[in-house]
Structures are given as C-alpha cells and as structure tokens.
Chain A
Amino acid sequence: MIDDQPGDPESVHSAAAVPSPARAGDLLATALAAFGLLAELGEMVEDEWTYVTKLVEVGRARLRAAVPDGSRLASPETTAAIHALAAEAGRITDPHRAIDWLSTFPAVAELALVGGGVIAPVRPPAGGA
C-alpha cells in the first residue's frame, strides 16, 4: 500500500537538498503535504473556489499515479527534487500565484518522480521477514 498520508508540514518549509535516497511513498507524502498548503492558499480566492477544488482533486490523483509503488527507493536526485519542490511551494504566499502553482506542481513532481528514476525496491533486511 502506498503511504500517501500528508507528511509533516514543517518539513515542507524547511526542506533543503536531501542527499540520501528515500522511499517513494515518503516523497509522495511530502509532495501531497506541500500541495495541500497550496490548496489552502488557493481556496482563499472565493471566485475560483470551484476551479481550485477540482484542480486539487485532479492534482492529488496525478501525484498518486506518479508513485504506483510507495515501497520503492527513489534516487537521491529525485529525493532532493521533491524536497526542493515542496520547499519552493512553501515559499508561495500569494493566493493567486498559489492557483498557478496548483496547476504546475503535480506536473513538476511527476517529472521528477517518473523521469528521475527509482534505484531499487526496498528489500527486507537479510534474515528478516
């Protein structure tokens, strides 16, 4: 099962380049948390509430589809990319710019998650279950 529960929002703001690989599911959680913050901002534009709501729905679906197996290990480059992308999204404070980012964010994350590659599935420790 893919771990797509929202990650720690603080990590969205403090994220910097992460040198080591991470589980794809953890990256998805980071991306979804950052996307959630953008959604909260975008929803402040009342005239665009319906558009934003639908954009968030399809954006979350696109992010989840980019990580079909959350247990796999992402490359260090992909890991760093998602953390840096989340940090960049966390810098957005203007609700109107947030709406633009709600459109762009899933595509950028997808490029990193799908194009950046996966090193290998996470395997249980030797002798483990």
Chain B
Amino acid sequence: MRFQDAARDARAIVYAGVQADPLVARLAALAADATYGQRLMARAVMNGESTDRATWGVIFPTVLGPAAPDLERAEALLAASLEVAERGEQVRSQFRGAFVEALSQVLVARRTGAAAVRRERRVLFDGVASEIHPYDLTVETAGREEAWDCKWGARGINADVLNQLDDARRHAAGEERSLRVGLIVFDVRISCAVRLSQQTAPRQGTAVVTLETLDALAGRKATPT
C-alpha cells in the first residue's frame, strides 16, 4: 500500500482556488472548536436563504442569544457562514465542500500531527487498478494509515464512495496492512443513518463521523454507524 498525489484536471485546479480561499480556513478554524449547536447553526446558515444576522439570531437563541456560551465564537462563525451564503449557488456548494475538508483536516491533525495529514491523495495497491477519485483526506503515518471522504450532507453518501472505501480497506488487508476508512459528514446522524439504510454497498468496516461526533476525529475513536 502506498500513497500518491492525484493528477489535477481542470476542475481540480479551479477547486484548488476555492480550497485556498482564506474564508475556508477561517470557517474551519472557528468550527473546529465549536459546539454542536454552533456547528448546526453554521450548517443551517450556509444552506439557508436569509443572509441577515438578525434572522439567524432569532432562530438560534441558545447559540446566538445574549446568554449563549462562547458567544464571540458563535458570532464569528455566523459571520463567516453568511459570507458563504452570500455567494451564488454553485460557488456556495464548492465552499461548503472545501470547508468540510478543511475542518476535517484540522481535527484529524490534532490527533495525528499535521505532517501526517494529506489532501487529495490516491491509495495504490499492488496489482489493483487505482481508483479514479482521490481521497479527500489521508493519514500516512506508517502502521496507522487512514483514508477519509468528506461530505457536506448525508445525501452525498452513495454506493460509489462506500465501495471505494471498502475496497481500499480490503485491499490493504490483502497486503496484511491496516487501513482505517471512513466518511466525515457535516450532517446530523439520523439523516446519515437513513441514507446508509438504503445502501446495499458494504459499510460494516467504514466509520461514519457526523455533526454530533466530529470531535472524535481529534481524539476518541469513531465507531462505525
């Protein structure tokens, strides 16, 4: 088993510009230490229609109200989320995807060290054709390798991604190596469970990290859903 940079096509080059946007890093840094309520607020705002602070302040009294904990972070997260919401639909979608990847990188790096975490990498196995799509996030520490795919919503869970992750895990096992594989979904657990229940692709060996369990990436081991 070995890791390799993915070749960049035109789409990847454009997307790299989004990934490098300072707004993505700011959002990720704020969300990394956010509470569940703050993260849920960020998801709602980035998926919402309203782009005024007042509306969201009313919708989230326990997050943005005067007595809310860590109000400074909540306000900053709201401001950054509104910046995403103010973009056009296609750009907004790209920012949301890049945000989930960046947030995942921040959290995983806290557990593994930043140097071990890589983005957009392929995992290659002897005698096996490489997958078309690279993994969003890999951990390449010898003996503790991981491959993750990041999704904005549960709807992004599909047979292709489940098969790719499971194939990688099985191929690693075939080389007597261990590869932890999983999905990181910035969506609520119940929606992921519903989505997974409708998939026939293998998922028993795939960890699923949801909005409620994101902090597991930074320390506690995530369990398969």
Contact: A80 with B58, CB < 8 Å?
yes
Please name all residues of chain B whose beta carbon is closer than 8 Å to the beta carbon of A94 when the two chains form the complex.
Answer: 89
Please name all residues of chain B whose beta carbon is closer than 8 Å to the beta carbon of A115 when the two chains form the complex.
Answer: 37, 62
Measured CB to CB, the nearest residue on chain A to B189 is: A107
Contact: A103 with B187, CB < 8 Å?
yes
Interface of B is mostly: helix
Cα-based distance from A101 to B55 in the complex (angstroms): 16
A111 at the interface (CB under 8 A from B): yes
Contact: B62 with A54, CB < 8 Å?
no
Contact: A51 with B198, CB < 8 Å?
yes
| Highest count of chain B CB atoms <10 Å: which of A78, A104, A116 | A104
Please name all residues of chain B whose beta carbon is closer than 8 Å to the beta carbon of A80 when the two chains form the complex.
Answer: 58, 61
Interface 1/0 per residue, B187-200 and A, CB below 8 Å: 11011001101100
Contact: B198 with A54, CB < 8 Å?
yes
Contact: B194 with A54, CB < 8 Å?
yes
Cα-based distance from A108 to B157 in the complex (angstroms): 22
Please name all residues of chain A whose beta carbon is closer than 8 Å to the beta carbon of B187 when the two chains form the complex.
Answer: 103-104
Interface of A is mostly: helix
Cα-based distance from A77 to B211 in the complex (angstroms): 25
Contact: A84 with B59, CB < 8 Å?
yes
Query: With A81-B59, A107-B188 in contact, do A88 and B194 touch (Cβ < 8 Å)?
Result: no
Please name all residues of chain B whose beta carbon is closer than 8 Å to the beta carbon of A107 when the two chains form the complex.
Answer: 40, 188, 211
Cα-based distance from A50 to B60 in the complex (angstroms): 30
Number of interface residues of B (CB under 8 A): 30
B49 at the interface (CB under 8 A from A): yes
Contact: B59 with A103, CB < 8 Å?
no
Please name all residues of chain A whose beta carbon is closer than 8 Å to the beta carbon of B174 when the two chains form the complex.
Answer: none
B50 at the interface (CB under 8 A from A): yes
Contact: A77 with B65, CB < 8 Å?
yes
Contact: B65 with A103, CB < 8 Å?
no
Cα-based distance from A51 to B197 in the complex (angstroms): 9
B47 at the interface (CB under 8 A from A): yes
| Highest count of chain A CB atoms <10 Å: which of B40, B89, B190 | B190
Within the complex, which residue of A62, A97, A99, A104 is in contact with B43, where a contact is CB–CB below 8 Å?
A: A104
A28 at the interface (CB under 8 A from B): no
Measured CB to CB, the nearest residue on chain A to B195 is: A51
Please name all residues of chain A whose beta carbon is closer than 8 Å to the beta carbon of B40 when the two chains form the complex.
Answer: 104, 107-108, 111
Cα-based distance from A84 to B50 in the complex (angstroms): 11
Please name all residues of chain A whose beta carbon is closer than 8 Å to the beta carbon of B49 when the two chains form the complex.
Answer: 88, 91-92
Measured CB to CB, the nearest residue on chain B to A108 is: B44
B82 at the interface (CB under 8 A from A): no
Within the complex, which residue of A91, A100, A112 is in contact with B60, where a contact is CB–CB below 8 Å?
A: A112
Cα-based distance from A115 to B65 in the complex (angstroms): 12
With A55-B191, A111-B37 given, can you name 19 additional A-B contacts, CB distance below 8 Å? A17-B58, A50-B198, A51-B194, A54-B197, A58-B194, A80-B58, A84-B58, A88-B44, A91-B48, A91-B49, A91-B50, A100-B153, A100-B155, A104-B40, A104-B188, A107-B211, A111-B40, A115-B37, A116-B62
Closest 7 CB pairs of A and B: A103-B191, A91-B49, A77-B61, A115-B62, A84-B58, A84-B59, A54-B194
